[in-house]
Amino acid sequence: MPRIQTLVIFLVLATGVGAAEAQLIPSFGRDRAGTSGFQFLKIPVDARAAAMAQAVATNAADASSLFWNPALAAQARGRTMFGVSHTSYHADVKLNYLALAQDVGSLTLGFSLQSMDSGEMSVTTEFQPLGTGETFKVVDLSLGLTVAQQLTDLFSYGITARYVEEGIASVTHETFVLDAGIFYRIGETGAQMAVSIRSFGFDSSTDGVIERTVVSDPGSRIEDNFEAITPATIFLMGIAYDVFHKSADDRSLLISAQLNNPNDNAESYNVGVEYIWNSLLAIRTGYRLGVEESNVPSFGVGLQLPGFGPQVRFDYGFNHLERLGSVHRIGLDVAL
């Protein structure tokens, strides 16, 4: 009965969290679309989160916690966490992520690196629509330093400072952003909740010039005046519940729900499920509500690799977007 009651409470909170949040943070719907840049900061970097429809702000217990909620990094006291992941994104775009977290005294310190590369693209003009023979690329970069602390076995907090850079051809935008989060485990009920704010910071500064052809005045024009870019800030609030938290065997069934409030679009909701069998195999799925392109559930698997001294896990995640197609992610997480 206590387990059933806790599950009921979890479902009530999960369905009511949107109404409560709407009173705290104003929502302007899709009227805000296109008002921020550095969009790569919103792309999920790891396979586990992608498979669970990104509903991991309360339960990213590996190196990916530095991306989703830095407070979670402090929940793995006594372990060194390392993670690397690769995403084969649309149109040959590649996204890579590397993270490392280590205890130093009473604190947990972390370093993360996120990069996205569009690959070479052809330069076209009004006079040469098939290409000029020149190429350019878009390269995005994020470097983060994290400090997290576990105040009790139930509560932790964390802050990440990130340098963010976006280079398009010969023009570079750069700025600094902050991620902050808190995590709270609700006693021995198996439920936990978290709040995270990601990519909150200053408008970008711009450096570089670009030469372009002008139709009305044959020749070229040098452009050196560009608007500042506002970072794509997002507020996350979630809750998760482990159905088998009191079981003696090595299995787990985690159900999570999350609200997302970005500064450049309407609110959306994510739900995710992860079942772990024998501490060896993880099966994951999830669904994103309120996202037009996402109409197919995501899924993925995780496999604990035997025969290694440290804890080594391989992850795979799959997402499908209606017009942009399928996205595949792979990752490797190590806990020493």
pLDDT of residue 29: 57
pLDDT of residue 13: 47
pLDDT of residue 23: 38
Report the 10 Å Cβ neighbour count for 57.
30
- The DSSP 8-state label assigned to residue 202 in this structure reads P
> CA torsion, points 229, 66, 87, 269, in degrees to nearest 10?
-80
210 sits in which H/E element: strand 210-213
The position carrying tokens 């009004």 is 126
Torsion sign across C-alpha atoms 17, 19, 24, 30: positive
Query: Measured between alpha carbons, how far is 212 from 104 in angstroms, rounded to an integer?
Result: 51
CA distances from 43 to 61, 160, 253 (A): 19, 17, 26
What is the residue type of 245? H
CATH number of the domain residue 77 falls in: 2.40.160.60
pLDDT of residue 5: 47
Q: Provide the domain limits for residue 317.
A: 2-335
Q: Write b or e for each residue in 114-150: b if 16 or more Cβ atoms lie within 10 A of its Cβ, otherwise e.
A: bbbbbeeeeeeeeeeeeeeeeeeeeebbbebebbbbb
pLDDT of residue 161: 97
Torsion angles phi and psi, residue 59, rounded to 5: -140, 15
What's the number of domains the chain is made of? 1
Cα 208 from chain centroid (whole Å): 29
Query: Measured between alpha carbons, how far is 145 from 133 in angstroms, rounded to an integer?
Result: 40
179 sits in which H/E element: strand 171-185
CA angle (262 as vertex; 256, 267 as ends), nearest 5? 60
Query: Measured between alpha carbons, how far is 111 from 72 in angstroms, rounded to an integer?
Result: 14
Query: Measured between alpha carbons, how far is 185 from 146 in angstroms, rounded to an integer?
Result: 21
> What is residue 127's three-state secondary structure?
coil
Tens digit of pLDDT at every position of the chain (336 positions): 455 544 444 454 444 444 434 434 555 556 667 778 899 999 999 999 999 999 999 999 899 999 999 999 998 777 899 999 999 877 788 999 999 999 999 999 999 999 999 988 888 877 788 888 888 889 999 999 999 999 998 999 999 999 999 998 888 999 999 999 999 999 889 999 999 999 999 899 888 888 776 766 666 777 778 888 899 999 999 999 999 887 767 789 999 999 999 988 888 999 999 999 988 999 999 999 988 888 899 999 999 987 766 789 999 999 998 887 899 999 999 998
